[in-house]
Structure 1
């Protein structure tokens, strides 16, 4: 039996065995009433998805998509286990744990995505919709998941959906577009209020280096303007260096690599953000080429811990923003004082 057909068969069998029990469902339809649902059509990079009826069982894959329904009071039946910044190893980040506690809900089924999407595990949760507005789905992934339930994929670039659009698309799929818009407005207000307390970072230029190999600094990689980490700098009142904007203009990739010999390209960068520790910063400072970058020379480097929830601070998600915002701004502020 073909794999996708087998997945559908598994899901159907599980649904019959359980009597079709459902999890939390959206509180309102697209037109504002739970009793009147009009089909919702969402276009995205991998196709067009139509949600014919109000979803009651919501599954999510890849990073952070589960945070949208949770923020709107809907508990998913299954979601991806956290594989970054999970300090206690339970697969759930602290802001998600807090939201589940507030909703008096059990932890949903956690999908292990260490080796890619676990399609059978997703099928076993019998979802009515699968949210993946922020994801790196391939066309094959999307097609396979679509055999299970309607799938909402990213609008343009893999791993490049800004947090506002993640909320917009995922909430639309739930029939909760108005609630999603309200969530966006609340977070924007919270960000603006917090940023006002850190005037030193205003108009500072920043770049985000990807995971740097301190043992081999012959090349450096960085996130382009298509990546949510780089986009978040603008939310914080900071600027995109011209060097990063120029490099990003001719690609749709979320990261690029340059030879260290081209380090002088980034002379317009005031602050560097990266993942690592003091050893990494020391390596940058000791390198004869990278040490000449103004941000390194001025010790204006923010090194986020990889094994701590704070390490996810630079990648804004609906629930994490409130949890890490003050700490992240404090780190950027300290770096700005050296720039």
Structure 2
């Protein structure tokens, strides 16, 4: 069972987060300033303080020039009514603004697109930002130090791995930094309600074993808890396959050889291509031999827009992905 094919295996949001091993380099940098201001409690409250992995970061006044570097940071800011002047090119292949097709709030003026994995700090500084959003990123000290020399930087929260900031954390952190806590809370409630309603409408999801995998030019792999795609399935009631969880390391993706491919066999298998065409693995005899594939319990996400929304881990992307994927998951289990 598949979605309609994408036109090509272009670089996707999912790919950027899947294969990244780190980004950012440069000369020595001083530690950022951090103060203990009052955390914003309602829309427009400043100074506002956000807790990050590198300490509290205080935004003294309403930012006017925001640069959004983290995965889905730009579309989250847009959803809260703020248009970044610079943004990472996570989805630049889909358009000249780097946004997914599901994003309703566009730019009045497209931002300067910043290289995703190796951003130019000079280019960022030239934009003269008064706030940098980097909530879902590699979370490296060096990257943070360099960015925070330019402007107050909202790094990932404490205790999360690279690119594993949850959509709730991202929304709450950005909402506080932008002084839009009320709007952020409303959007969070809307997404939570969408998950709740989808799960309630499909009690067959509850406790059902799922395996979420991907295929790249290097072969197959599987996602473990902590990854946004697994979290998506878990919020619908699914449980990630135990045998996959047992392979988990600090990374959120584990390689799976063809000899191990039965790891992707589950009550529901969800898989997608990254940088390649779906046909490069759906035609593989080993893939075709999986019971979940033979019995129609495998869903291949090969529509680029649906795949990117599913992988985006942003509030707007999740709302779109729920609408598009839940009926297909239900059909596969039916």
> What residue number does 1:23 align with?
none
Residue 114 to residue 54, structure 1, CA distance change in 2 (3 Å): closer
Residue 304 to residue 65, structure 1, CA distance change in 2 (3 Å): same
Residue 83 to residue 263, structure 1, CA distance change in 2 (3 Å): same
Aligned residues: 294
Q: Is the 1:269–1:294 contact (alpha carbons within 8 Å) kept by the matching residues of 2?
A: no
> What residue number does 2:6 align with?
none
Q: Is the 2:171–2:315 contact (alpha carbons within 8 Å) kept by the matching residues of 1?
A: yes
Larger CA deviation: 308-317 vs 191-200: 191-200
Q: TM-score, length-normalised on structure 1?
A: 0.76
Q: CA deviation at 1:236?
A: 1.5
Q: CA deviation at 1:291?
A: 4.3
Q: CA deviation at 1:114?
A: 5.2
Residue 107 to residue 198, structure 1, CA distance change in 2 (3 Å): farther
Q: Where do residues 16-35 of structure 1 align in structure 2 (5 Å cutoff)?
A: 30-32=40-42, 34=44
SS of equivalent to 2:216: coil
Residue 294 to residue 33, structure 1, CA distance change in 2 (3 Å): closer
CA distance in 2, matches of 1:43, 1:112: 22
Residue 231 to residue 106, structure 1, CA distance change in 2 (3 Å): same
Q: CA deviation at 1:277?
A: 5.3
> What residue number does 1:313 align with?
309
SS of equivalent to 1:181: helix
> What residue number does 1:77 align with?
85
Q: TM-score, length-normalised on structure 2?
A: 0.77
CA distance in 2, matches of 1:50, 1:83: 28
Q: Is the 1:277–1:303 contact (alpha carbons within 8 Å) kept by the matching residues of 2?
A: no
SS of equivalent to 2:119: coil
Residue 117 to residue 258, structure 1, CA distance change in 2 (3 Å): same
> What residue number does 2:243 align with?
243
> What residue number does 2:294 align with?
297
Determine whether 1:283 maps to 2:283.
yes
> What residue number does 1:187 align with?
191
Task: Give the RMSD, CA atoms, in angstroms.
Answer: 2.8
SS of equivalent to 1:272: strand
SS of equivalent to 1:99: coil
SS of equivalent to 1:51: strand
Q: CA deviation at 1:254?
A: 1.4
Select which of 116, 120, 123 maps to 1:121.
123
Q: Flag structure 1 segments of 5+ consecutive residues without an equivalent.
A: 7-28
> What residue number does 2:18 align with?
none
Larger CA deviation: 160-169 vs 273-282: 273-282
CA deviation string 1:235-286 (max 9, x = no partner): 12212111122222xx2211111332233445545323222655245334x1
Residue 212 to residue 336, structure 1, CA distance change in 2 (3 Å): farther
Determine whether 1:136 maps to 2:143.
no
Residue 69 to residue 277, structure 1, CA distance change in 2 (3 Å): same
Select which of 248, 258, 261 maps to 2:256.
258
SS of equivalent to 1:172: helix
Q: CA deviation at 1:65?
A: 0.6
Q: Flag structure 2 segments of 5+ consecutive residues without an equivalent.
A: 1-25, 30-38
Bigger radius of gyration among the two: 1
Q: CA deviation at 1:150?
A: 1.4
> What residue number does 1:106 align with?
108
SS of equivalent to 1:210: strand
Structure number with the bigger relative contact order (C-alpha 8 A, sep ≥ 6) is 2
